[in-house]
């Protein structure tokens, strides 16, 4: 399913008015990260502030909808941003790292994989990474499809 089709279905099923949305895929393993969102394990993400500035893109905002795409640009789910803040890489909190739902959920794991990823992103636009690099921390909730509750 395409992003616009999934978003239209989400709006219709929830009797919501037409609104804008973004469509994107997460990081280096889009399918795994999208699956973590579906499982309810991933409720946050992060990106480099300078990339938004370089691409002249606004930061995400609370209440904004996004369609998460898989590696083949297939629509996987719809999320709604609940909080956005910017802090230095070295100031990202353990709770945020855990909400990203990746690896063992630790801050040390988050720092290791994100430092490598951010270095690559910054290098592509002619910038360098430091531990003070501003990071956009975004929290979100899965809104479509609804997470299935376990029936015990």
In a domain, 150, yes or no: no
* Mean pLDDT, rounded, of the chain: 94
In a domain, 21, yes or no: yes
Could you read off the pLDDT of 65-123 as tens digits, one per residue? 999 999 999 999 999 999 999 999 999 999 999 999 999 999 999 999 999 999 999 99
3-state secondary structure of 51: helix
Q: Note the pLDDT of residue 57.
A: 93
Residue range(s) defining the domain that contains residue 127: 3-140
8 to each of 50, 108, 141, how far by Cα in Å? Answer: 32, 39, 18
117 CA to centre of own chain? 14
Domain count, the chain: 1
Query: What residues contact residue 102 under an 8 Å CB cut-off, 6+ apart?
Result: 33, 36, 42, 109, 110, 113
In a domain, 145, yes or no: no
Where residue 77 sits, what CATH number does that domain have?
3.10.400.10
In a domain, 29, yes or no: yes
């Amino acid at each position: 399913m395409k992003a616009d089709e999934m978003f239209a279905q989400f709006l219709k099923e929830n009797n919501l008015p037409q609104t804008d949305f973004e469509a994107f895929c997460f990081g280096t393993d889009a399918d795994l990260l999208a699956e973590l969102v579906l499982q309810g394990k991933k409720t946050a993400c992060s990106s480099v502030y300078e990339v938004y500035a370089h691409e002249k893109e606004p930061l995400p905002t609370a209440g904004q909808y996004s369609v998460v795409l898989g590696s083949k640009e297939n629509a996987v789910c719809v999320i709604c941003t609940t909080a956005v803040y910017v802090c230095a890489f070295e100031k990202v909190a353990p709770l945020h790292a855990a909400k990203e739902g990746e690896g063992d959920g630790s801050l040390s794991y988050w720092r290791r994989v994100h430092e490598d990823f951010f270095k690559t992103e910054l290098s592509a636009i002619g910038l360098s990474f430091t531990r003070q690099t501003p990071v956009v921390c975004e929290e979100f909730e899965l809104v479509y499809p609804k997470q299935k509750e376990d029936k015990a």
